[in-house]
């Protein structure tokens, strides 16, 4: 056990090492960095964290992180009506927004079903998704969850929950990444990309 010459220092190192991917050595490096900074910068850092946790809101419609009751995407009436993309987390919303290829709305589950981690369907925003679809204004639900066992489980769970509504349910295409070499692509991905092949003319808009 490392001996710290100061309890304040040790406490700060303890806090930083609670963060994922940050061990005690890195934590000490970060704390010593903060000690070299302007006090105002460090006070700002601390207060930002406190404010974040205290004041953060989640959109009442899609449950993404938002400063307002309804997020800017859900409030935007110029987006494609009736299309909802179901994602795990806000990170996927940001990644999909960055592609500029999608103009519909989102629904953030807040995770995927994972019995190992004690996450069941009731911990996720699945009921509110079903309600949104049952309202009748939705024509397509796009599932964009990870291709892990948990992601697939969640996909099937949502599929069964939505089946009675008759809404179109699609899932994002899986295939060989742009820039990847066919030779090195794993068999499952390559198999799926052949099975789901698309019209050449459609893809290149010829």
Binding stretches for its own copies (CB under 8 A): 2-9, 11-12, 15, 18-22, 26, 28-35, 37, 39, 41-57, 64-67, 71-73, 89-91, 93-94, 97-98
Nearest to 104 by CA among 121, 87, 126: 87
Torsion of CA 6, 8, 9, 15, to 10 degrees: 140
| Closer residue to its own copies, CB minimum distance, 49 or 149 | 49
7: left (phi over 0), alpha (psi -120 to 50) or beta: alpha
Are 63 and 128 in contact, with CB atoms under 8 Å apart? Answer: yes
| Closer residue to its own copies, CB minimum distance, 33 or 159 | 33
| Closer residue to its own copies, CB minimum distance, 44 or 191 | 44
In the complex, the smallest distance separating the C-beta of residue 194 from its own copies, rounded to whole angstroms, is 32
In the complex, the smallest distance separating the C-beta of residue 202 from its own copies, rounded to whole angstroms, is 29
| Closer residue to its own copies, CB minimum distance, 27 or 162 | 27
In the complex, the smallest distance separating the C-beta of residue 77 from its own copies, rounded to whole angstroms, is 17
Sign of the dihedral defined by the CA atoms of residues 187, 189, 192, 198, in that order: negative
Q: How far apart are CA 62 and CA 157, in angstroms?
A: 19
In the complex, the smallest distance separating the C-beta of residue 178 from its own copies, rounded to whole angstroms, is 20
Q: 65-66 and 83-87 as β-strands: parallel, antiparallel, unpaired?
A: unpaired
In the complex, the smallest distance separating the C-beta of residue 123 from its own copies, rounded to whole angstroms, is 11
| Closer residue to its own copies, CB minimum distance, 65 or 167 | 65
């Amino acid at each position: 056990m490392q001996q710290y010459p100061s309890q304040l220092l040790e406490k700060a190192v303890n806090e930083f090492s609670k963060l994922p991917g940050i061990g005690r050595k890195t934590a000490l490096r970060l704390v010593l960095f903060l000690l070299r900074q302007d006090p105002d910068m460090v006070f700002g850092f601390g207060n930002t964290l406190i404010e974040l946790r205290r004041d953060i809101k989640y959109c009442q419609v899609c449950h993404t992180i938002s400063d307002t009751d309804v997020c800017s995407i859900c409030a935007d009436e110029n987006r494609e009506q009736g299309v909802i993309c179901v994602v795990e987390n806000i990170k996927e919303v940001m990644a999909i927004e960055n592609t500029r290829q999608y103009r519909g709305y989102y629904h953030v589950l807040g995770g995927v079903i994972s019995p190992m981690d004690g996450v069941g369907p009731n911990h996720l925003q699945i009921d509110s998704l079903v309600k949104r679809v049952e309202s009748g204004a939705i024509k397509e639900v796009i599932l964009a969850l990870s291709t892990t066992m948990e992601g697939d489980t969640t996909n099937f769970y949502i599929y069964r929950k939505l089946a009675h509504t008759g809404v179109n349910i699609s899932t994002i295409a899986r295939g060989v990444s742009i820039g990847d070499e066919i030779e090195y692509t794993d068999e499952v991905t390559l198999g799926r990309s052949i099975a789901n092949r698309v019209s050449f003319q459609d893809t290149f808009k010829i």
